[in-house]
Structure 1
Amino acid sequence: MSELLKVERIVAGYGEAKVLKDIDLSLEQGQALALLGRNGTGKTTLINTIVGHTRRFAGRIWLNGADITGFKPHQRALAGIGWVPQERNIFKSLTVEENLTAIAVPGPWDLARIYRMFPRLQERRANMGNQLSGGEQQMLAIGRALMLNPKVLLLDEPLEGLAPIIVQELMRILSDIIRDEGLSVILVEQNARKALSITHNAVVLERGSVIHASTAAQLLAQDEKIDTLLAVSQH
């Protein structure tokens, strides 16, 4: 496997505040990484930095061997960075189908394939974005990111605030995307065990620094270590 995404000695934050401190991160082609940590440890800032929405003080970012450090957010998207932010950011005044096709890039992920993966979106294809439930909006946000045919998909807490039955459905879909489709993914998720169950590797952040890196299976097998690293019980 070849290295797809490389974050090298990144220092980044907002304004004058430095949130990330010398972060090194590597993602191989076809692999999925669980990005874990308590609230406020820098997970979203790291995702936003890869996307290009923070102030970078030092370090480089590489995608598929190309230095994209100087790229603007839209250039990173076109280069292959797919992003599902916490806020979802769907176009609420457009229909489901318009949301999916508005920024689509030709490739294997097309409308028919998205509808096969998310039958609920096909059923609601003529509904406006603001007529969807939270779970449907999340499905739409993921589908729209896939329509960019990204090289890597960044998911920032995609299960947050959703009903258990929707969480179960999205977990199955994310597992398909990772295990069956072989898409490279970075998954930020508060429930560490859920994230670890569908990913290959794990990184834990604390105060803007990496404090743990291992395979997902190794960390999943150590209940006490998970609880210690995240300082909470997630049983």
Structure 2
Amino acid sequence: MAELLGVENLSAGYGEARVIQNLTFSLQDGQSLALLGRNGVGKTTLIDSLIGVTTRFGGKIALAGEDITALPPHLRARRGVGWTPQERNIFRSLTVEENLTAVELPGEWSAKRVYGLFPRLQERRSNMGRQLSGGEQQMLAIGRALVLNPRLLLLDEPTEGLAPIIVDELLGALRELARAGLSMIIVEQKPKKILPFTDEAIVLDRGSIAYAAPSAELIADPAALDAHLTATKKAGR
């Protein structure tokens, strides 16, 4: 299995403020990574750094062997970096169908396939973005990222603030994406939601990697998982 993403000694932040420090990790093609930790430890900053919207103080990012460190966000997207932000960023004045077809690129993922993944969207294909519930907007945001046919999909807390029934639907869709071999990095504060279908896990604390292990290892040892996450909370007090 070839390496898809390689991050080496990455330090980044916003303006003059450094948020993440000397992060080094990799992700193999076809695998998924759970990015864990409490609020404010640098998870979103890492995602922002991978898409290219932070200040980089040092380090290197490679995608499929190509150095993308100096590329702006739109060129990283063309190389295959997809992104679903917390804010969702859908076109609220366009229909569901228009949201998907406006950005669709040739590849395995089309609007039709997105409808298969999220039947709710097909039912609401003529609804405006602003008419959707929060959960439906999140599904649409993921669908918009998928029709760009990314090699790596970054999801920043996709289940935050959603009703349990919608959370279950979203997690089911993410499991399906993982089974299909789409590489993903998923930010989540509740690890038990995503560890069962991710391959690797990283716990961040104060901008650094506090712990990294296969997801299965953390599932098999819940006490260790609790200990690492509790340790990050105590350290941040």
TM-score normalised to structure 1 length? 0.96
Q: CA–CA distance in 1 between the matches of 2:5 and 2:104?
A: 22
Q: Is residue 47 of structure 2 the alignment partner of residue 47 of structure 1?
A: yes
Q: CA–CA distance in 2 between the matches of 1:198 and 1:188?
A: 13
Structure 2 residues not aligned, in runs of 5+: 232-237
Amino acid at match of 2:52: G
Conserved? CA contact 2:81–2:154, under 8 Å: yes
Find the residue that maps to 1:231 and give its secondary structure.
helix
Find the residue that maps to 2:194 and give its secondary structure.
helix
Cα RMSD (Å) of the superposition? Answer: 0.9
Conserved? CA contact 1:177–1:183, under 8 Å: yes
Q: CA–CA distance in 1 between the matches of 2:111 and 2:214?
A: 34
Identity %: 61
Offset, 1:137: 0.2
Aligned to 1:82: 82
Per-residue Cα deviation, 1:195-227 (whole angstroms, up to 9, x for no partner):
111101101100000111110010112222222
Q: CA–CA distance in 2 between the matches of 1:34 and 1:161?
A: 19
Offset, 1:228: 1.9
Q: Is residue 184 of structure 2 the alignment partner of residue 185 of structure 1?
A: yes
Per-residue Cα deviation, 1:103-127 (whole angstroms, up to 9, x for no partner):
1111010111111111111111111
Q: How many residues are treated as equivalent by the alignment?
A: 231
Aligned to 2:161: 161
Find the residue that maps to 2:113 and give its secondary structure.
helix
Q: CA–CA distance in 2 between the matches of 1:217 and 1:30?
A: 16
After TM superposition, the structure 1 = structure 2 runs for residues 103-114 of structure 1, keeping only pairs within 5 Å, are: 103-114=103-114
Q: CA–CA distance in 2 between the matches of 1:59 and 1:230?
A: 26
Q: CA–CA distance in 2 between the matches of 1:220 and 1:36?
A: 14
Q: CA–CA distance in 2 between the matches of 1:61 and 1:186?
A: 15
Aligned to 2:24: 24
TM-score normalised to structure 2 length? 0.96
Aligned to 1:205: 204
Q: CA–CA distance in 2 between the matches of 1:47 and 1:90?
A: 18
Find the residue that maps to 1:108 and give its secondary structure.
coil
After TM superposition, the structure 1 = structure 2 runs for residues 1-235 of structure 1, keeping only pairs within 5 Å, are: 1-179=1-179, 181-231=180-230
Amino acid at match of 1:36: L
Offset, 1:53: 1.1
Runs of 4+ displaced beyond 4 Å: none
Q: CA–CA distance in 2 between the matches of 1:43 and 1:133?
A: 26
Conserved? CA contact 1:37–1:229, under 8 Å: no
Find the residue that maps to 1:23 and give its secondary structure.
strand
Offset, 1:69: 0.6
Aligned to 2:234: none
Find the residue that maps to 2:89 and give its secondary structure.
coil
Per-residue Cα deviation, 1:39-76 (whole angstroms, up to 9, x for no partner):
11100000000001110010111001111111111111
Conserved? CA contact 2:4–2:29, under 8 Å: yes
Structure 1 residues not aligned, in runs of 5+: none
Offset, 1:20: 0.6
Offset, 1:101: 1.4
Q: CA–CA distance in 2 between the matches of 1:7 and 1:159?
A: 26
